């Protein structure tokens, strides 16, 4: 974890909400110069900090509404830092907690060099990343509807639906398998929603692909040189990683992908593991999918997988393979070279 350690004349801690934001501005000596609840708007914010613009840094806890403030500070030439929510224990662990107290704690963490940093994703790729995340959310909802149709057949002890409902042509007569008219109506509703999702995704996916090729076509092609990384997984990795240079070491990258367990020790004794929720859930999912697809599409990789299964079992073997693939992707992007299957298998 990195901390913000620069020194300034003024430190502004903000407890940010959708409609209100509580500001606390400290000077270099720790004296409170401003402590006020204001409306969440660019004009109000700039008016409040105007007397303290000389060497000012603004710190905000990472939550869903920080985009506009980061962009405003960049435009106005104000230093902006984003706090990692899961590491700000001083804010969440207090006996008393409210917006006024939280804003003061954020300012104190900034001044004391203990402000845990999160990545401020640049605005030029931010909207496309969010659009891709929304696309994945819709695909998961579509999968839930497909599973619900099959579970409905099981619920009424009907013959198993032996066709792949993913394809539109296989779904045309599936509602006729349900004799009860009300149950048939349930299935028809599910099918109608699946068709609606398909219409949206058919338009959305080519648009995201076109934008990605315009923004970083070379990195996308490097990622897709790995067998198992296709259209969507390549896009997810491209937008969730963004810039590989922000990870100083391969261990930092693997940790960000949630592919390592962090051991808790005290007095040289292991107390368990933790930090499973710290990192990028989208990259964790992507590399887990790639590990399964990598074995499926690489006959030469099956021997490696069989050896890992003998040592660790199937579940852990897939996690280990995902970790190895993440390390390979890190060095590919660092060195700007495509994936080398022979070298990967020899070193893995």
* Residue 271 predicted with pLDDT over 80: no
Compute the average pLDDT of residues 316-342.
Answer: 94
Is 223 a member of any domain?
no
Q: Do 82 and 134 sit in the same domain of this protein?
A: no
Q: Quick: pLDDT tens for 123-132.
A: 999 999 999 9
CA-to-CA distance for 24 and 104, rounded, in angstroms? 5
Predicted local distance difference test score (pLDDT) of residue 42 = 96
Compute the average pLDDT of residues 136-151. 95
Average pLDDT value over all residues in the chain? 92
What is the pLDDT, as a whole number, of residue 41? 95
Choosing from 86, 118, 150, the residue where a domain stops is 118
How much is the pLDDT for 95?
Answer: 78
Q: Please say which residue of 64, 96, 118 terminates a domain.
A: 118
Segment 60-78 mean pLDDT: 94
Does 31 share its domain with 110? yes
pLDDT score at 155: 93
Structural domain includes residue 79: yes
Instruction: Check whether 211 has a pLDDT greater than 90.
Output: yes
pLDDT at 93 over 90: no
Q: What is the mean pLDDT of residues 96-112?
A: 92
Residue showing tokens 């960049």:
74
What pLDDT, in 10s, does the model give residues 155-210?
Answer: 999 988 888 899 888 898 899 999 999 999 999 999 999 999 999 999 999 999 99
| Domain membership flag for residue 227 | no
pLDDT mean over 95-105: 90
Residue 8 lies in a domain: yes
- Asked whether residue 12 falls in the same domain as residue 87, the answer is yes
Domain assignment of residue 220, yes or no:
no
Asked if residue 338 and residue 261 are part of one domain, the reply reads yes
Is 49 a residue whose pLDDT tops 90? yes
Same domain, 343 and 240: yes
Band the pLDDT of 96: cuts 50, 70, 90.
confident
Beta carbons of 318 and 292 less than 8 angstroms apart: yes
In the predicted model, is pLDDT for residue 348 greater than 80? no
- For the cut 80, the answer to whether the pLDDT of residue 90 exceeds it is no
Would 92 be classed as within a structural domain? yes
Helix (H) or strand (E) holding 342, with range, is: helix 341-347
Residue 145 and residue 97 share a domain: no
pLDDT band for 273, please (50, 70, 90 cuts): confident
The pLDDT > 90 percentage for the chain reads 78
Q: 105 and 171 share a domain?
A: no
Query: Which pTM was predicted?
Result: 0.88
Same domain, 145 and 100: no
Residue 84 within a domain: yes
Domain, as residue range, for 58: 3-118
The answer to whether residue 42 is domain-embedded is: yes
Q: Taking each helix axis as running N to C, give the angle between helix 123-155 and helix 181-223, from 0 to 180 degrees, rounded to the nearest 10.
A: 140
Same domain flag for 68 and 168: no
Alpha carbons 233 and 225: distance in angstroms, whole number? 12
Could you give the number of structural domains in the chain? 3
My answer on whether 86 and 166 are in the same domain is: no
Residues 240 and 262 in one domain: yes
CA 24, distance to chain mean position in Å, is 30
**CA–CA distance, 250 with 168 (Å, rounded to integer):** 42
Based on the domain organization, do 131 and 105 belong to the same domain? no
276-311 per-position pLDDT tens digit: 788 999 999 999 999 999 998 888 888 889 889 999
pLDDT range class, residue 32, cuts 50, 70, 90: very high
């Amino acid at each position: 974890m990195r901390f913000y350690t620069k020194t300034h004349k003024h430190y502004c801690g903000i407890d940010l909400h959708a409609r209100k934001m509580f500001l606390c501005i400290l000077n270099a000596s720790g004296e409170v110069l401003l402590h006020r609840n204001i409306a969440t708007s660019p004009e109000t914010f700039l008016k409040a900090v105007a007397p303290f613009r000389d060497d000012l840094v603004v710190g905000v806890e990472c939550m869903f509404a920080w985009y506009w403030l980061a962009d405003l500070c960049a435009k106005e030439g104000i230093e902006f830092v984003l706090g990692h929510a899961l590491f700000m224990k001083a804010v969440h662990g207090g006996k008393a907690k409210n917006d006024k107290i939280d804003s003061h704690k954020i300012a104190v963490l900034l001044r004391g060099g203990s402000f845990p940093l999160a990545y401020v994703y640049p605005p030029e790729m931010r909207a496309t990343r969010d659009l891709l995340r929304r696309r994945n959310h819709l695909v998961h909802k579509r999968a839930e509807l497909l599973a619900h149709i099959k579970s409905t057949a099981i619920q009424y002890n009907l013959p198993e639906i032996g066709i792949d409902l993913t394809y539109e042509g296989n779904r045309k007569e599936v509602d006729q398998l349900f004799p009860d008219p009300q149950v048939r109506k349930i299935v028809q509703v599910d099918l109608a929603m699946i068709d609606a999702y398909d219409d949206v995704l058919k338009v959305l996916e080519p648009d995201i692909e076109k934008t990605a090729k315009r923004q970083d076509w070379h990195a996308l092609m490097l990622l897709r040189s790995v067998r198992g990384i296709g259209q969507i997984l390549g896009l997810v990795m491209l937008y969730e990683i963004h810039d590989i240079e922000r990870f100083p070491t391969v261990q930092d990258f693997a940790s960000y992908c949630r592919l390592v367990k962090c051991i808790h020790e005290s007095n040289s004794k292991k107390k368990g593991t933790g930090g499973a929720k710290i990192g990028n859930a989208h990259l964790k999912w992507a590399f887990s999918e790639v590990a399964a697809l990598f074995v499926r599409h690489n006959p030469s990789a099956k021997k490696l997988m069989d050896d890992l299964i003998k040592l660790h079992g199937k579940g852990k073997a897939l996690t280990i393979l995902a970790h190895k693939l993440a390390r390979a992707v890190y060095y590919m992007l660092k060195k700007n070279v495509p994936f080398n299957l022979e070298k990967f298998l020899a070193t893995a």
